[in-house]
């Protein structure tokens, strides 16, 4: 497993070393940071973050006043891959990055993969150069997902292959290109990472990290259909951090549901990751594209707020707040936020906005946690948390009271 060591070689804390574990570590002078450097008066409250996930370590400036420089080059809000020996300058502090595992860059991996003969095509699966496709592990309306092994290093990966029939239209091509662009720009330990992409057999594929724990849906199913608060709360803390990151980067997911939450690890070391970003879209331009027709409703209406059902093209971060609140509600109760009477139109029920309060389903739920989820599920966007960041802050306040 890759080990990261950060040493401060200049500044008030010169000589001090840090070894962040998997996940995200925030550096700054604020008390809420993971690494607090209060003595450096030129550092912002939340200056930069370092995220370790998969085989890469990335740094992202958090909008600091004086900026962050890597090897004397200023970096922006887009994540930058760090390598062994890199120097990071923030405020008056200079950090040396140490990584004890050599890593190929994604470009190098793709170049090597393209030079490898295509493996034998498995039954029903695609032949993709550089990968041994083993078995189908999932499918949806637009794509199939296979477990595969990368020939360069025998790493287990997930390969998502778009349906050739879906790829025949111009709209479908734009949708796939949008997904790939989105995945390349988003990097967080609680988002499923894109490792590679390309074209094969008249379709497009994406190679992603493999999560052996399956979906939140199946995980809850193995536990009788729902999770205890002790099981659910840590997972949703992770998911909220990922959602806050997505919204800061200018994206809405638009299809958050238990089947799109993947798990990795086991026991107390389970990591939750948001997957299937194929419907994600920059909210600055939401409503300006014709990719999604006015009558085309994607996603699952059981986990969609009424404003999204009514107007799928003009979706804001508050829609994701509702959806993740619905996922949390479902995980705790084993039920959906709405009641769906026999014969009722699901879209009509979703449009009505009528949600059963959490404690009506689960009387034992802590009052503050129930209030938190019920607010997230407000029918009016203005009554919810504004975005993932505000929702995460409120969630931390709830936890601090217990």
d(CA 145, CA 163): 10
Catalytic (active site) residue 255: yes
The Cα 379–Cα 244 span in angstroms is 21
The Cα 345–Cα 134 span in angstroms is 40
Q: Helical H runs in 79-157?
A: 106-114
Helix (H, G, I), strand (E, B) or coil at 351: helix
Render 300-318 in DSSP notation, one character per residue.
-GGGS-HHHHH-SSS--HH
Q: CA-CA distance, 19 to 94, in Å (whole number)?
A: 16
194's enclosing H/E stretch is: strand 194-200
Q: Which residue has the tokens 């370092």?
A: 50
DSSP secondary structure letters along 35-76: EE-TT-TTS-TT-EEEEEETTEEEEEE-S-SS-EEETTEEE-
Q: Measuring CA to CA, how many Å separate 236 from each of 171, 233, 274, 324?
A: 34, 5, 11, 9
Question: Burial letters for 321-337: b for 16+ Cβ neighbours within 10 Å, e otherwise?
Answer: bbbbbbbbbbbbbbbbb
Of 294, 317, 158, 144, the C-alpha closest to 247 is 317
CB contact at 8 A, 211 and 264:
yes
**3-class DSSP state for residue 375?**
helix
- Residue tagged active-site, from 40, 255, 307, 387: 255
The candidate with the shortest Cα–Cα distance to 313, out of 334, 294, 328, is: 294
Please name the residue ranges forming H helices in 169-302.
Answer: 170-185, 216-221, 229-248
Catalytic residue positions, numbered: 255
């Amino acid at each position: 497993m890759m080990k990261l060591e950060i040493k401060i070689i200049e500044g008030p804390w010169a000589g001090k070393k840090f070894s962040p574990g998997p996940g995200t570590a925030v550096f700054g002078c604020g008390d809420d940071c993971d690494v607090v450097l209060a003595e450096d008066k030129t550092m912002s409250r939340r200056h930069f973050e370092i995220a370790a996930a998969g085989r890469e370590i990335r740094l992202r400036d958090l909008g600091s006043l004086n900026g962050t420089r890597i090897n004397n080059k200023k970096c922006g809000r887009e994540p930058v891959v760090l390598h062994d020996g890199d120097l990071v300058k923030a405020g008056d502090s200079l950090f040396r990055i140490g990584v004890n595992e050599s890593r190929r860059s994604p470009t190098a991996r793709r170049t090597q993969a393209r030079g490898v003969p295509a493996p034998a095509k498995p039954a029903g699966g695609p032949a993709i150069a550089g990968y041994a496709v083993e078995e189908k592990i999932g499918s949806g309306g637009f794509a199939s997902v296979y477990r595969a092994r990368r020939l360069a290093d025998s790493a287990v990966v997930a390969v998502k292959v778009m349906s050739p029939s879906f790829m025949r239209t111009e709209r479908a091509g734009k949708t796939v290109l949008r997904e790939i662009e989105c995945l390349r720009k988003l990097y967080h330990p609680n988002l499923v990472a894109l490792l590679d992409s390309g074209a094969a057999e008249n379709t497009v594929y994406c190679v992603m990290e493999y999560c052996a724990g399956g979906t939140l849906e199946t995980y809850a199913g193995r536990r009788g259909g729902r999770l205890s608060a002790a099981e659910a709360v840590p997972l949703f803390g992770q998911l909220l951090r990922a959602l806050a990151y997505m919204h800061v980067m200018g994206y809405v997911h638009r299809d958050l549901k238990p089947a799109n939450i993947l798990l990795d690890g086991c026991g107390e070391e389970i990591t939750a990751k948001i997957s299937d970003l194929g419907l994600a879209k920059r909210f600055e331009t939401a409503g300006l594209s014709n990719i999604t027709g006015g009558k085309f409703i994607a996603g699952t209406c059981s986990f969609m707020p009424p404003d999204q059902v009514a107007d799928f093209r003009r979706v804001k971060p508050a829609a994701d707040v509702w959806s993740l609140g619905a996922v949390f509600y479902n995980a705790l109760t084993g039920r959906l936020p709405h009641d769906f009477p026999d014969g009722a139109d699901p879209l009509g029920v979703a449009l009505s906005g009528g949600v059963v309060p959490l404690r009506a389903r689960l009387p034992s739920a802590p009052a503050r946690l129930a209030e938190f989820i019920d607010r997230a599920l407000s029918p009016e966007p203005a009554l919810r948390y504004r975005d993932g960041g505000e929702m995460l802050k409120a969630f931390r306040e709830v936890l601090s009271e217990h």
